[in-house]
Amino acid sequence: MDQKQTPILDALAALERRPIVGFGAPAHHHGNAMPGGMRRLLGRRVFQADVMTPKGLDDRTEGAHALQRAHEIAAEAWNADFCRFVTGGSTQSLHTVLSAVAGPGDTVLIAANAHKAERAHALATGLNAVIIPVEIDPRWDIEHGVSPAVLAEMLAAHPEARAVLIVSPTYFGVTSDIAALADLCHDQGVPLICDAAWGGAFAFCEALPHDPLTKGADAAVYSLHKTMGALAQGSAILAKSGVLDLQRLWMAYELFETTSPSVPILASIDATRRDHALDGERLWTQVLDTAAGLRGQLAKIEGLRVFTRDDLPAGAELDDSKVLVDVSALGVSGYAIDDWLAREHRVSAGLSDARHLLLILSLGTRRADVRALVAGLEDLVRQLAAGTAGLPPLAALPGIDTLQVEMAMAPRAAFVGAAEAVPIEAAEGRIAAEIIAPAPPGVPRLVPGQRISAAHVAWLVAQRDAGAFFLDPVDPSEHTIRVVA
């Protein structure tokens, strides 16, 4: 297929040249009516592009197959047998793939560092989500991927498992040994699903890690908006035939995708695929060169420690566009540094936690952006030395390796049953009735049905006091937690 083609983008351009007088949705009718202030802020062309897929982008029966052709071209670009564009982000994509492989009561093995999306789907649909322990690096206090030895043990302990879901690359850019994990899964006739939200560009540049589909994964979910340039919520599901039932995956997609997908998002995915298929090697070589320069500059700043390939576990690869920095030697939290940089220099890290800043470079990153970041961090270090930064000292923190998962009751029962709110400090021994997922990266540390240990209490209190943001807690003040009554 011709990777220069962009069926969605071309259909949208044709519609702009010859607009249709419609008597249906959207109600703004190509921007004839716009909410107050939107014309000045966004302009009319955003609304002109906001059309329906049938009787807009395509005809009444979608006879031109604009969306379908875009899917086929993208499947070839990723060397896959199946592709669908998703406008509800990779959360929706993950829900779709999980629905295609397992139903209520079925067992799915899910990596401990999986995003809230996977655990939320299991909770809502009644899947039996069995957690696979991941490798933890105590020197860096971060989670890596699933080791083949651990997965072999989990598959032996759960022969009833219908699928395995892992995160590769992690938020920090570290991959798992996909080939070894895929072999273990396929020996059991089980599909390997890869949450590769941050790895969509891997297929298009030799200097990036291997794309999971080329190493044996059966399905991969990519967030094309995270690094590749699509509009926010732009995601894609790619899959290979064989172990996975692609027809069932197609049906699951139709269940979850809205009948009114955002055409601007779809067009941005289509264009992003084209740009990467034609020029991905050059685009990402530039990004990686910029990242290498940033690593060198940060290494010269006293008190900063930069994650490198020497820190990788066996069998892993590193996406060098993710620059992880340990800031704990500065004596203040990453949260506080992130806030200070935003306030004083209008610079924001991709992720901050108590010990780290994660700096994510992508196609839109400019060398001027890197200079602004480095200047901000150098200014911070000077002010910390002079005592003028005004940031609170970082207290001692328990490591992430202290957190263990003990399920005390069925998650669904804990979620819908009687509950009460208790102070986090008084929650030891209780059973969680909500998801607590500090974000980013949005990895749940507690889910409904999980026993809350003393280690969880200590870790959550320390992270909260250091400045963590708990994603969607019932108590936005982060002082109480919902537990089973």
What integer is the mean pLDDT of 399-422? 93
Q: Which residue did the predictor score with more confidence, 230 or 46?
A: 230
- Looking at residue 359, its pLDDT comes to 98
Q: Say if residue 188's pLDDT is above 90.
A: yes
Query: What local confidence, expressed as pLDDT, does residue 19 receive?
Result: 86
Q: What is the pLDDT of residue 33?
A: 83
Distance CA 94, CA 222 (A): 10
Token duo for residue 141:
């206090």
- Per-residue pLDDT band for 39 (boundaries 50, 70, 90) equals confident
| Share of the chain residues as helix, strand and coil, in percent rounded to the nearest 5 | 40, 15, 40
SS3 110: strand
- How many CB atoms within 10 Å of residue 35? 9
Distance (Å) of CA 310 to CA 180, 318, 330, 412: 21, 10, 23, 42
pLDDT of residue 369 exceeding 90, the answer is yes
CB of 70 within 8 A of CB of 85?
Answer: yes
CB 203 within 8 A of CB 78: yes
Q: Cis omega before residue 169 (within 30°)? A: yes
| Percentage of residues of the chain with pLDDT beyond 70 | 100
**CA 242, 246, 247, 248 torsion: positive or negative?**
positive
pLDDT at 154: 98
Q: State the pLDDT confidence band at 62, using cuts at 50, 70 and 90.
A: confident
Residue 183 pLDDT greater than 90, yes or no:
yes
Least confident of 58-67, 163-172, 206-215, 448-457: 58-67
Tell which residue, 434, 436, 429, has the closest CA to residue 419.
434
Mean confidence (pLDDT) of the chain: 94
Q: How far apart are CA 52 and CA 452, in angstroms?
A: 47
> What's the distance, Cα to Cα, between the start and end of the chain in Å?
59
**Residue located via tokens 């070894």:** 180
Q: Does the pLDDT of residue 53 top 90, yes or no?
A: no
Tens digit of pLDDT for each residue in 16-32? 888 888 888 888 888 88
Q: Is residue 61 scored above 90 in pLDDT?
A: no
- pLDDT of residue 283 exceeding 90, the answer is yes
Does residue 96 carry a pLDDT above 90? yes
Out of 57-66, 142-151, 293-302, 417-426, which region has the weakest mean confidence (pLDDT)? 57-66
Would you state the pLDDT for residue 221? Answer: 98
Q: Is the pLDDT of residue 98 over 90?
A: yes
Q: Judge residue 54's burial from the number of C-beta atoms within 10 Å of its C-beta, 0-12 exposed, 13-18 middle, 19 or more buried.
A: middle
Alpha-carbon 67 to chain mean position: 24
pLDDT of residue 173: 97
Q: How confident is the model at residue 59 (pLDDT cuts 50, 70, 90)?
A: confident
CA 405 centroid distance within chain? 22
Is residue 46 predicted with pLDDT exceeding 90?
Answer: no
Q: What is the rounded distance in angstroms from the CA atom of residue 326 to the CA atom of residue 347?
A: 18
Within 10 Å of residue 248's Cβ, how many Cβ atoms?
12
> How far is Cα 433 from Cα 412, in angstroms, rounded to an integer?
9
286-342 residue pLDDT tens? 999 999 999 999 999 999 999 999 999 999 999 999 999 999 999 999 999 999 999
Q: Say what the pTM is.
A: 0.93
Share of the chain above pLDDT 90, in %: 83
Please name which of 180, 246, 172 lies closest in space to residue 212, comparing C-alpha atoms. 180
Between vectors from CA 447 to CA 443 and to CA 450, what angle results, nearest 5°? 130
Is residue 202 scored above 90 in pLDDT? yes
What distance in Å separates the CA atoms of residue 170 and residue 117, rounded to the nearest whole number? 15
